[in-house]
Structure 1
Amino acid sequence: MQETPYDFEAGAILLIDKPLTWTSFDVVKKTKFALRIKKIGHAGTLDPLATGLLILCTGKFTKRIEEIQAQEKEYTGTFVLGHTTPSFDLETEIDSTSATDHLTEEMLTEAAASFLGEIDQTPPIYSAVKVNGERAYALARRGEEAEIKSKRVTFKQFELTSIEGNQVHFKVVCSKGTYIRSLARDYGVKLGCGAYLSMLVRTRIGDYRLEDAMNLEQLQELREKQLAHHDRHTGA
């Protein structure tokens, strides 16, 4: 992570490595307080149980949020085969178990290849998708059912990077609006054994990369250095 001079209030694009369990809104709120700025937003939500690249835009650069959100995304992560959860990840408990002993590497690879290109995908019920004006996850946590419409998404790459027992490690390059939790569900359905997402890292959005991101402590340190530099040169 290179230190770059930012004018946070006027406008900046900040690459943040989102911590595990934090919501994207938590990061925005923390950053807004740390930098003491008025205008800030994020360009693409990450689930609380995902980590990796979250792009924040401040000041005049908030106008670029939609442009950044529209760019392709890259993820790495892990699917656990033979189990399902209602949320398709670790937010909820396992609700079904199936055998996976019969699955071969060839079967796993062929199933992954079937998702390449443009497909219809239904977002998870535990998601921020709005149903009749309310977030789907709010309905799900109350035990209510909701009909969520599918949408067209594109998978440019779905590569299995390694296989350890019933854990499949992967890399995905996909379009805006894709849910990797839904991919876990659909992949498990394709294999006939069920699957859920146990780990997810967003590594890239367009040309913005995780290796260039900073954590929140580094952001705070950068802010303090810039304030000290400003004070030295203004005699404050």
Structure 2
Amino acid sequence: MPASDFEPVHGVLLLDKPLGLSSSHALQRVRRMLGAAKGGHTGALDPLATGMLPLCFGEATKLAGVLLGERKVYHAVCRLGQVTRTDDAESEVICERPLPDLDDASITALLQQFVGRISQVPPIYSALKQQGQPLYRRARRGEAVQAPQRQVEVHALRLLQRHEDRLMLEVECGAGFYVRALARDLGERLGCGGHLAALRRLWVAPFQEQPMIELDTLEQILRHDGREILRAQLRPIEEVMPQWPRWMLSAAESLMISQGRALIAPRTAAPGPCLLLDPGGRALAMAEVLDGRFRVSRGFHWGQDKG
């Protein structure tokens, strides 16, 4: 599409990302369908992963930093006895080892060692940057790469099913956690090695138990009902924001905020993040109550939009 065909379109779409498509490619396909001038995703999924990928368009891209820190839940299949170069099924098997005797009780006990605030070494084939370059590029060039250990949060880890050399797990974690690294580390603790065979993200907070939409469905809506109906699938910022306190401002107060002027918060406003709304109930700014005032962190500028 020529650049002139893209317009300001605002909102969030919960895509059910298909297998084999990168998060960036999925985003660009949806952006072209919507004719959205600006877009971004939160919490990338590898091509071999499926499931919830929140896509943000227009002013909603300002939510990315907020949503990236939210909890996520995955269903993961870990294959034991095989080690791969990328810690998942995307690369060849480089080592095979026999499986130990396994039972559900011992596996469940081992899983609990990975719950809480833990140290994790990310896969070297990852987008983390070192010396200004993604680790995977350096690894593919054959350079010696050492991924830095870092602290991550695992809220819950549960064995759903065990079948021969495969474990199906439910993982609830925070930002920065690599399920591939978990599969690798579980295999090492068991002495047989392992890799991630399949991964599906069920939800990203604050979108628990909310429906996703598939690419094929979006294409059908565009083909049969048109772009305006397709854009109606977007969720407004006010709907998808975390459960922060919300303050509706008067027209005069809204003008003060939009002009970058200080605004005294009500005495009942507790310190911390909040969402400021204009008299029509539309998001005006993300702010923080500090020292009795609303201090804006990000403002929303709608203009003559289509979303």
State TM-score, norm by structure 1: 0.89
Structure 1 pair 26–227 and aligned structure 2 pair: CA distance change class (3 A):
closer
Structure 1 pair 218–229 and aligned structure 2 pair: CA distance change class (3 A):
closer
On the 8 A contact 1:202/1:210 being kept in 2, the answer is: no
Could you tell me which residue of structure 2 aligns to residue 35 of structure 1? 34
Could you tell me which residue of structure 2 aligns to residue 181 of structure 1? 180
CA distance in 1, matches of 2:106, 2:94: 24
Could you tell me which residue of structure 1 aligns to residue 251 of structure 2? none
Could you tell me which residue of structure 2 aligns to residue 130 of structure 1? 129
On the 8 A contact 1:88/1:184 being kept in 2, the answer is: yes
Q: How does 1:11-90 map to 2 (within 5 A)?
A: 11-90=10-89
Q: How does 1:194-205 map to 2 (within 5 A)?
A: 194-205=193-204
On the 8 A contact 1:17/1:210 being kept in 2, the answer is: no
The alignment partner of 2:143 has SS state of: coil
Q: Which amino acid aligns with 1:117?
A: G
For residue 112 of structure 1, report the CA deviation from its aligned partner. Answer: 0.7
Structure of greater relative contact order (alpha carbons < 8 Å, 6+ residues apart): 1
Q: Which amino acid aligns with 1:171?
A: E
2:181 paired with 1:156: no
**Greater than 4 Å deviation, 4+ residue runs:** none
Q: How does 1:80-159 map to 2 (within 5 A)?
A: 80-159=79-158
The alignment partner of 2:93 has SS state of: coil
For residue 146 of structure 1, report the CA deviation from its aligned partner. Answer: 1.3
For residue 42 of structure 1, report the CA deviation from its aligned partner. Answer: 0.2
Could you tell me which residue of structure 1 aligns to residue 271 of structure 2? none
Q: Deviations over 1:132-191 (max 9, x none)?
A: 111111112222221211111111111000000110011000011100000011111111
The alignment partner of 2:154 has SS state of: strand
The alignment partner of 1:208 has SS state of: coil
Which moves more between the two structures, 157-166 or 220-229?
220-229
On the 8 A contact 2:162/2:168 being kept in 1, the answer is: yes
Q: Deviations over 1:30-66 (max 9, x none)?
A: 1121111111000111011101110100011000011
Residue-pair matches, total:
223
The alignment partner of 2:102 has SS state of: coil
CA distance in 2, matches of 1:175, 1:157: 10
**Structure 2 residues without counterparts, runs of 5 or longer:** 1-6, 231-307
Q: Which amino acid aligns with 1:48?
A: P
CA distance in 2, matches of 1:229, 1:87: 41
CA distance in 1, matches of 2:116, 2:26: 33
CA distance in 2, matches of 1:77, 1:148: 23
Q: Which amino acid aligns with 1:36?
A: G
For the pair shown, which has the larger CA radius of gyration, 1 or 2? 2
Structure 1 pair 51–154 and aligned structure 2 pair: CA distance change class (3 A):
same
Could you tell me which residue of structure 2 aligns to residue 234 of structure 1? none
Q: Deviations over 1:1-42 (max 9, x none)?
A: xxxxxxx83311000011111110001111121111111000
CA RMSD of aligned residues (A): 1.8
State TM-score, norm by structure 2: 0.69
CA distance in 2, matches of 1:120, 1:105: 25
The alignment partner of 1:188 has SS state of: helix
Structure 1 pair 67–229 and aligned structure 2 pair: CA distance change class (3 A):
closer
For residue 73 of structure 1, report the CA deviation from its aligned partner. Answer: 0.6
Which moves more between the two structures, 157-166 or 201-210?
201-210
